[in-house]
Structure 1
Amino acid sequence: MPQSLKKLLALEIAHRIDAMRTCRKRALRGEDAESLHNLRVALRRLRSLTRPLQPLLTPRIRRIERRLKRLVQDTNALRDAEVHQQWLSRLAPDLPPPSPRRKDAARLSRALKSGRLKRDLNLLRERLPRQLAKTPKFALTRLLAGGCDAAQIELAHALSRSGFDDAVPQDLHNSRLLTKRVRYQAESYAVLLGDSRLALLATPCRELQDALGDLRDLEACAASLPQAEQKRAAARVRQARAECRERARLAWQDMHDRLAPTPLED
């Protein structure tokens, strides 16, 4: 394991918090269409980075973690509206766009402007490296590796409970969330831990996450179409569904095979 694990992890935490600050400013300014997406990614990457560190966190930092989780939830409605419009333009291009979600946008803006969020990010950047410095290196390494292993095991179980074709929507949703967690941990911790196997999971995780996300968003958009429009859009929906399901099926099987234990691990 790298001798400078604590220092590298502290730098990674600082990098994630700085990225979160930058994305917060861009989202408030509404600079581009990707600002909301980038904010959500920055939030999830920061939370995925700290998730394996939970046993080390003080009650105060855990409260900050919960507030960051609520901030992610505050972005959900706006993100869903953005993706819904993208699918709507493909499935039913003649329909007018839905009304802007002004209340959701105002609530998110208030949360991003709050002094509490600024203080929370400052405190995380200051206090978390201090706690890492107090932790023995072998214990920190074991904690991080154990957290990453646990996420992979949970995802492997989710993919093994049923094949893709037999999975119900809730199974697909849960598998997507678990895949996202493993992906962000792979991107954050593979290099720090010197784990080449974990590093190889980042790209297939992203492919499965994207495929399951597209399928979920397609089904939500198709279900929201007015009855008359559903008939006109039926052929486009069938084609899009077939494409999404095939991508997801292949990515699901690939990830299942990658996480399957080798004979020596049985």
Structure 2
Amino acid sequence: MAFVDSIVARVLTLETRLHHAHARLAARTDSEALHDLRINLRKLRSLLRPMRRLEAPRQLDAAAADVGRLTTPVRDLEVLIVELRRQGFHDQAERRERLLESRYASIQASATLRHFEAVLDGWPAKMRDAERSGELQRLRGRVEVRLERQLQRLREALADPDFDRHALRLLVKRMRYAHEAYAGLSPITDEVARALKAVQSALGDWHDHFQWCLKADQEADLLVLKDRWEVAGEAELKAAEVQLSILAEYLGVAVPGQG
């Protein structure tokens, strides 16, 4: 089964990258360690998602999702600190940098991360067991069907002008990373993938400002920035809508009120 071989090989490559990012985080060698850990987690989950009806991929995906949830608030804190520095609010940034160190330590000590690494280490053997049992027959076809369904969900969301933009951002991300994970099976072109990347970037900028505004309502020392974040967020959402229109056109989606 060459298809299964290729998947196992890619997971082993991602495992190496994840261990490297984890080691960098533990040693505090650079500011991108957690970001790289999360990027490789996302690549792993994109590879696993179309296979989640099978036990071994489902278990590993669930463990990876737990690490994602554990690290999301810490990554958000990293991004906020960069924004505060960029805006010149160094006191606010320094207070959060002290908190960030304790958050890193919590990740390192977490049972969630240890469990994920144990499941990841044992995953290739479980996939080989599933292969020998015949469980992976027609796996390639199953993946193709799942990717088509994922694209259909995205098309339906794009056709609905009232579809929640936070949820749409996630659909766009998943479709883009699914294309990267399964380029040979993907139902979209590289041109569409580039449009997905543009939408993801625009909606990501808007999402960051939206979250910072919510945080400003909870953390008094951020209130001074709320107005400018709201203005920036509104502009970014308008820019994202333009990119969404381009993406819809590429995918042949008719959006009510446009045209």
TM-score bin (small chain): 0.7 to 0.9
C-alpha RMSD over aligned residues: 3.0
CA–CA distance in structure 2, aligned partners of residues 238 and 111 of structure 1: 35
Partner of residue 215, structure 1: 206
- Choose 61-70 or 146-155, whichever is displaced more: 61-70
Deviations 1:47-78 (A, max 9, x none): 110111122224xx533432221111010111
- Percent identical across equivalent pairs? 22
CA–CA distance in structure 1, aligned partners of residues 226 and 118 of structure 2: 49
Which of 24, 27, 43 lines up with 1:29 in the alignment? 27
Flag the 1:103–1:232 CA change in 2: closer, same or farther, 3 A.
Answer: closer
Partner of residue 179, structure 2: 186
Flag the 1:90–1:218 CA change in 2: closer, same or farther, 3 A.
Answer: farther
Helix, strand or coil for the counterpart of 2:92? coil
CA–CA distance in structure 1, aligned partners of residues 180 and 124 of structure 2: 20
Flag the 1:87–1:114 CA change in 2: closer, same or farther, 3 A.
Answer: closer
TM-score w.r.t. structure 2 length? 0.81
**Aligned runs of 1:172-251 on 2, under 5 Å?**
172-191=165-184, 193=185, 195=186, 197-225=188-216, 234=227, 236-237=228-229, 240-251=232-243
Query: How many residues are aligned here?
Result: 248
TM-score w.r.t. structure 1 length? 0.79
Flag the 1:260–1:27 CA change in 2: closer, same or farther, 3 A.
Answer: farther
Specify which structure has the bigger relative contact order, considering alpha-carbon pairs within 8 angstroms and separated by 6 or more residues: 1
Deviations 1:197-228 (A, max 9, x none): 35443322222122111101112223444779
**Aligned runs of 1:86-101 on 2, under 5 Å?**
86-91=82-87, 93=89, 96-97=92-93, 98-99=95-96, 100-101=99-100
CA–CA distance in structure 1, aligned partners of residues 225 and 193 of structure 2: 39
Q: Is the 8 A contact 2:52 2:61 kept in 1?
A: no
Q: Give 5+ residue unaligned stretches, structure 1.
A: none
Q: Is the 8 A contact 1:151 1:182 kept in 2?
A: yes
Q: Give 5+ residue unaligned stretches, structure 2.
A: 255-259
Give, in angstroms, the shift of residue 151 of structure 1.
1.3
Q: Is the 8 A contact 2:84 2:90 kept in 1?
A: no
Give, in angstroms, the shift of residue 149 of structure 1.
1.1
Deviations 1:215-244 (A, max 9, x none): 01112223444779756774x446533542
